[in-house]
Structure 1
């Protein structure tokens, strides 16, 4: 299976996903150094974490639109190069305001990554393999976080935190060059794709009917469908927990559990590695359930409901344990459950939205879900500064995960069409 060229495309997306999270986690790992140098309060640090997601959320939608219009290859390559430059710009910041601007620009540049990756998978993979493909490339994200923790921590300790951002910039620009040299928007455009593989891809493209290739559906008709709307609610809950973990958990370990930056950099590898297993397992498990039951929506829905609820239980119990070991263990299990669901939101979009609208619709839903990235870090910083503890922040994250799970159970329902997908006529009715 993995000898087919489409899996090499997934490998490149995997590398880009790993690098994407290396860049994001870098600021969280170096936050204790940056906060000390610039004398930042918890609220200011929370605002800096959130500033990334302001630009990121906006360009989720814009990136999806650009991918539909100009193709995912150019948009993805361009955004990879730009975010690498902006992560490098962190090294020349000198106060809170300059940090805020650099993080905002970094977020703008990274915004299209999810929707363009999703669009590439939609172009290159049959429906029966999409959840697996998304699971593989998104597994690169927590692995990137795992690599970033000791790598960035070591560079920051030995050579200063600014050096770490320069190194990441160079690696990103190199990866952007490789991407542009080795990829195409569609398999039929690539000289390395054999005829047999092309037929295999085109045989089961799910929603890629002749009608859906040529006829557009309004964005409003897509997003008002209950299945799409409440998938977005669940996606919001997922991202709130994800961004809470990504931005504040390292500081929680140093401030509440009294770990050194060195020790924190080491132990935070564990949740990221366990999360990568969850990402891989979620995609394979969903596709396996689909093959056994022939119920496409059921195979997506069951993973979402169980994953979000399991994550909620673990996140809620973190504040009840005394030791850093117990906190890391619980958070690792929480991240595993959370990341089981990570690719399913995208899989539902691909399963239910006509191909011409996948980038735009996915971008809009991604925008809504990533508003949580603006809210979670700032709200967490406020609670820490006003109460002196992380307790309320953990309970809020857990409550939202339960809400997302219930939204899936009661409102995300199978679409009753011949192939279990929303087609053009469904949206018109």
Structure 2
């Protein structure tokens, strides 16, 4: 079935990892009404708990990327998934705010390498013409995980208790680790099940670029910082940060918004809360397909990615802003769903564009740094939203602020990502 297409197996493994990754991290937001009541927490404390995850996460985005370059994605992903699964399960035994805060930081450390190791795996396993679809498909598992978190985690928590839900999710992660170690190798050259034909196709058409001078001579790059501080890479990181502000705003606070502001019960929230994440899944898949289609027609890799990021963030910004003024629950959910469809077209464009700018031997480290900067939004967005809800202008103000961040990302994209010249640091 997979003759000359073993990379499909790799894509499925990464897709399933994305489902589990976001099922894990969405679980606390879905269980928030139960956890708040059981541990006697307020909205500001919940915001800090959501953000605590990203303290460990951001640091290990960068360290995980460096490790993926040094040790390979197979070992790094297996280690990371094992750690995050154990500490997701450990959530079930906490009895206080401080304990949960500690577990969330360690949980975030485990999940940190996921994005960059995923990108490193795709860089190693897919030819350039398939990168957009590969990133789109594999990352589509993430919002799908958030979508199924609402009914699965919500209903398990409702009938068996919120602690049991975290144990079950942790066990699922450990099952995936076994499959990953059995089926995956760092490169197709290392895997006995990959045909010579497929191996040649991938090796001869890998996406990561090699920096050259104007006359086409390969440049000798001695430091990863040359790439990290270039205008295009910082522009991608800025756009990614602003997308993440919206993503983590919804991932952390959407269930509470539906229960506390729109007055839904847990059962109704578990079903209706799926819709924006199903929309996000469509956005991930559609964005990757459209990226590759535009590249095929224009033969301009930079343009094909940049236009998707621009359109995605513009429409997402408008839809998030409209949510603040929605007159009904269905209107609000409709606006949020439109926002997620278009917002989630942008991350795969960011990842695949980065692969075209940074050489293969540095894609893990550079991607890790971009992911670190982008996921600082995970520290800012949930905590700031919690304080706004608790002490400021409520959800109305929170939606307007999230919309503003999307426009900031658009401006950064237009100013900084003008070419793919990684050897030109900002200000040079």
Q: Distance in 2 between matches of 1:22 and 1:207?
A: 30
1:69 equivalent in alignment to 2:74: no
Q: Is 2:230–2:424's contact at 8 Å kept on the other side of the alignment?
A: no
Residue 181 of structure 1 corresponds to 182
State the shift of 1:112 in Å: 0.2
Q: Structure 1, residues 357-414: CA drift from partner, whole Å, max 9, x if none?
A: 1000000010001001001011001111113621111111100101111222233113
Hey, what does 1:164 align to over in structure 2?
165
Where 2:129 maps in the other structure, the secondary structure is: helix
1:404 corresponds to 2:422: no
Residues 34-73 of structure 1 aligned to structure 2 (within 5 Å): 34-73=35-74
1:284 corresponds to: 289
| Cα deviations by residue, 1:101-137 (Å, 9 ceiling, x for unpaired) | 1111100000000010100000111111111100000
Tell me which of 250, 254, 261 is aligned to 1:256: 261
TM-score of the two chains, using structure 1 as the length reference: 0.95
Tell me if the contact between 1:277 and 1:336 (Cα under 8 Å) persists in the aligned partners. Answer: yes
CA contact (8 A) 2:211 2:359 kept: no
1:6-40 CA distances to partner (integer Å, 9 max, x unpaired)?
11101100000001010011110000000011111
So what's the TM-score if we normalise by structure 2? Answer: 0.95
What is the aligned-residue RMSD (CA, Å)?
1.9
> Contact 1:213/1:355 (CA < 8 Å) preserved in 2?
no
Equivalent pair of 1:216/1:357 in contact (CA under 8 Å)? no
Q: CA deviation at 1:213?
A: 11
Q: Is 1:269–2:270 an aligned residue pair?
A: no
Say which SS state the counterpart of residue 95 (structure 2) adopts. coil
Please state how far the C-alpha of 1:249 moved relative to its aligned partner: 1.1
- Among 325, 328, 338, the residue aligned to 1:323: 328
Q: Which runs of 4+ in 1 moved over 2 A?
A: 206-217
Aligned partner (choices 310, 330, 338) of residue 315 of structure 2:
310
1:345 maps to which residue?
350
Cα deviation per residue 1:291-343 (whole Å; 9 max; x = unaligned)? 11011100000000010011000001111012211111110000001001121
Structure 2 contact 123–207 (Cα < 8 Å) conserved: no
Match of 2:380 in 1: 375
For the residues of structure 1 that align with 2:83 and 2:377, how far apart are their CA atoms? 23
Equivalents in 1 of 2:410, 2:273: separation in Å? 26
The answer to whether the 8 Å contact 2:2/2:8 transfers is: yes
Q: Are the counterparts in 2 of residues 135 and 281 from structure 1 also a CA contact under 8 Å?
A: yes
Contact 1:298–1:414 (CA<8 Å) still a contact in 2? Answer: no
Match of 2:195 in 1: 194
- Assess if the C-alpha contact under 8 Å between 2:61 and 2:371 holds in 1: yes
1:359 aligned residue:
364
The 8 Å contact of residues 312 and 342 in structure 2, kept in 1 or not, is answered as: yes
Q: Which residue in 1 is equivalent to 2:126?
A: 125
CA deviation after TM superposition for structure 1 residue 206, in Å: 3.6
Change (3 A) 1:263 1:210: closer
Distance (Å, rounded) in 2 between the aligned partners of 1:225 and 1:214:
15
Q: CA deviation at 1:41?
A: 1.1
**Counterpart contact for 1:132–1:283, Cα < 8 Å:** yes
Could you say which residue in structure 1 is the equivalent of 2:137?
136
Identify unmatched segments of 5+ residues in structure 1: 416-421
Q: Is the 8 A contact 2:231 2:424 kept in 1?
A: no
d(CA) in 1 for partners of 2:405, 2:11: 31
Residue 219 (str. 1) matches residue 224 (str. 2): yes
Paired position in structure 2 for 1:418: none
2:241 is equivalent to residue 241 of structure 1 = no
> Are residues 214 and 108 of structure 1, via their aligned partners in 2, closer, same or farther at CA, if it must alter by over 3 Å?
farther
1:419 is matched with none
Alpha-carbon distance in structure 2 between the residues aligned to 1:187 and 1:45: 44
Given that 1:17 and 1:140 are in contact with CA atoms closer than 8 Å, whether structure 2 keeps it comes out as: yes
